[in-house]
């Protein structure tokens, strides 16, 4: 059978605050519930599996959990209301002018709103139109789903339409109702509540939902402009000096500055892509997951540039045989993959050496010392991983392989002008706040700190004000840094 060239599942791997699986999502939502009387609204696109979503949310132990379906008009009324748009034709219809409120019984909604305001405890309103029924939520989450997945569920006769059970109808008629009626209504609602949504749920795989926060774009801008550009400026100044004038301290500061620059630069524009993509209705996957908290090089490459690692694994490593043909073939395959990974970044020997360097370390961790490293204390394993990662960045940023070897030598005292010098102390002391922010931003500590600041006021209004002020300050600082800087493109665009 002929296969279509159309990519039905387009994705872009990028970074951001992403929670995968029911346990992680519930843990994050529990952290958001900061008071005993709390309203959680989970609105969702038509076609989202509400049963699976309910099974997920019930783990929050709510005092009240209501599905919006029970507040809708009777099915026969909804069919009569939507008939002018759906029509009897098998294919054609008219784009609806209805909105979400037209599907609900207003007497039921009015009574429910009174019940919500009078009852105490944790209350969850779940389903299409939940944000219209309860506009004053303490936390608003939106469950979304891809159009292609909706079509597959039509074919399997799994999902209902808005207020109507269409599972016994043909997939073509289900799709037509979705296109001319339900999707128009849900798209209009989603656009109207976009600014209020705190978290977005990806419900394409009901048993493995994913959740992302809305704050990602602003954090990405701050990462790029404040952290990446500032640490990059320190690295550029040090790199412009003669290598023989470096102290050990200056060499390490230069290397650490570059490691922060490339992470926040790449991670920053990835975060902005998540935010911008969400504005246009696209879902993006994670590409970084706090790589600098790794305790081994193997773990680092599970967290860094996940899309690149996945591509080479799927299209090079596995076709070569992967680890299915013995240890010697596995080692050969790993060396080939990592040599190509280095060459992918640039046609220079230092990039090839960078790739082989990681290939060799990963082989050694897999077959030689990995089992011993796992027994070390966590802090020691983290230092071990970061030293090897920083040496790798020297190979990456150096103009030649010879320069890289000399730079690594200076880092360990070979050819250095001394252990410390005034210049090294100047860079450290004049940029200590940026380095502190970089350390916090490259770990989950920074995110948890931001969330605690947001929740500090306690009340819902206070939390919204605090969140707005915090991101306004980040945006203002980013603009201030942009005004004082010349053109500074994303670093990773060079590779």
DSSP string across 286-298: ES-S-GGG-SSHH
Q: How far apart are CA 166 and CA 169, in angstroms?
A: 5
Number of H helices, E strands in the chain: 22, 9
The backbone torsions φ and ψ at residue 433, rounded to the nearest 5 degrees and listed phi first, read -70, -40
Taking only the tens place, the pLDDT of each residue in 134-176 is 988 888 999 888 887 888 888 898 889 999 998 998 988 898 8
What is the pLDDT, as a whole number, of residue 423? 85
Summarize the confidence of residues 206-233 as an average pLDDT.
67
Q: 345 catalytic, yes or no?
A: yes
Residue from 106, 157, 345, 382 carrying the catalytic annotation: 345
| Separation between Cα atoms, residue 342 and residue 14, nearest integer Å | 20
CA–CA gap between residue 172 and residue 88 (Å, rounded): 12
Rounded Cα distance between 266 and 123, Å, is: 40
| Amino acid 1: pLDDT | 40
- Residues ≥6 apart with Cβ < 8 Å to 151: 171, 175
Of the chain, the end-to-end C-alpha distance in Å amounts to 39
92-138 confidence digits (pLDDT tens):
889 899 999 999 999 999 999 999 888 889 999 999 999 999 988 88
Q: What are the backbone angles phi and psi of residue 39, rounded to the nearest 5°?
A: -110, 115
Pair 180, 96: CB distance under 8 Å: yes
Between CA 229 and CA 269 the distance in angstroms is 12
d(Cα 444, Cα 17) in Å, to the nearest integer?
9
Least confident of 238-247, 273-282, 335-344: 273-282
Half-sphere exposure of 426 (CA within 13 A, CB side): 7
pLDDT, tens digit, for every residue of 375-424? 999 899 999 999 999 999 999 988 888 899 999 999 999 988 889 888 88
């Amino acid at each position: 059978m002929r296969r279509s060239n159309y990519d039905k599942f387009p994705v872009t791997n990028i970074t951001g605050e992403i929670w995968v699986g029911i346990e992680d999502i519930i843990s994050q939502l529990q952290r958001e519930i900061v008071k005993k009387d709390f309203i959680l609204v989970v609105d969702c696109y038509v076609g989202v599996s509400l049963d699976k979503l309910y099974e997920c949310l019930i783990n929050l132990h709510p005092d009240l959990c209501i599905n919006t379906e029970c507040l809708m008009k009777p099915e026969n009324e909804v069919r009569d209301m939507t008939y002018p748009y759906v029509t009897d034709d098998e294919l054609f219809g008219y784009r609806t002018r209805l909105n979400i409120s037209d599907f609900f019984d207003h007497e039921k909604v009015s009574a429910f709103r009174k019940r919500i305001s009078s009852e105490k405890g944790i209350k969850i309103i779940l389903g299409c139109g939940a944000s219209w029924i309860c506009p004053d939520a303490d936390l608003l989450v939106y469950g979304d789903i891809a159009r292609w997945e909706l079509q597959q569920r039509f074919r399997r006769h799994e999902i209902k339409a808005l207020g109507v059970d269409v599972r016994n109808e043909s997939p073509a008629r289900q799709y037509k109702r979705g296109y001319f009626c339900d999707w128009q209504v849900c798209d209009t609602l989603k656009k109207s509540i976009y600014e209020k949504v705190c978290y977005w749920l990806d419900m394409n795989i009901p048993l493995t939902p994913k959740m992302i926060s809305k704050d990602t774009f602003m954090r990405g801008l701050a990462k790029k402009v404040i952290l990446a550009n500032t640490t990059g400026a320190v690295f550029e100044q040090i790199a412009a000096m003669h290598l023989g004038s470096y102290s050990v301290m200056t060499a390490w500061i230069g290397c650490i500055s570059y490691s922060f620059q490339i992470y926040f630069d790449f991670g920053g524009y990835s975060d902005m892509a998540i935010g911008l993509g969400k504005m246009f209705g696209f879902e993006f996957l994670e590409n970084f997951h706090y790589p600098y908290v790794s305790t081994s090089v193997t773990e680092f490459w599970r967290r860094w540039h996940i899309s690149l690692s996945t591509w080479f694994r799927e299209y090079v490593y596995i076709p070569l045989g992967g680890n299915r043909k013995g240890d010697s073939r596995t080692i050969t395959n790993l060396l080939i993959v990592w040599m190509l990974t280095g060459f992918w970044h640039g046609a220079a020997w230092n990039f090839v050496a960078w790739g082989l360097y990681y290939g060799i370390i990963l082989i050694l961790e897999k077959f030689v010392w990995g089992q011993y490293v796992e027994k070390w204390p966590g802090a020691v394993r983290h230092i071990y991983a970061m030293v090897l990662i920083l040496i790798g960045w020297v190979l990456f940023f150096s103009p030649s392989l010879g320069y890289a070897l000399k730079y690594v030598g200076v880092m360990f005292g070979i050819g250095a002008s001394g252990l410390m010098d005034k210049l090294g102390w100047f860079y450290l002391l004049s940029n200590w706040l940026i380095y502190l922010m970089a350390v916090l931003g490259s770990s989950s500590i920074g995110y948890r700190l931001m969330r605690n600041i947001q929740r500090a006021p306690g009340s819902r209004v206070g939390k919204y004000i605090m969140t707005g002020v915090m991101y306004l300050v980040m945006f203002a600082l980013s603009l201030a840094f942009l005004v004082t800087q010349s053109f500074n493109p994303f670093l990773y665009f060079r590779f």
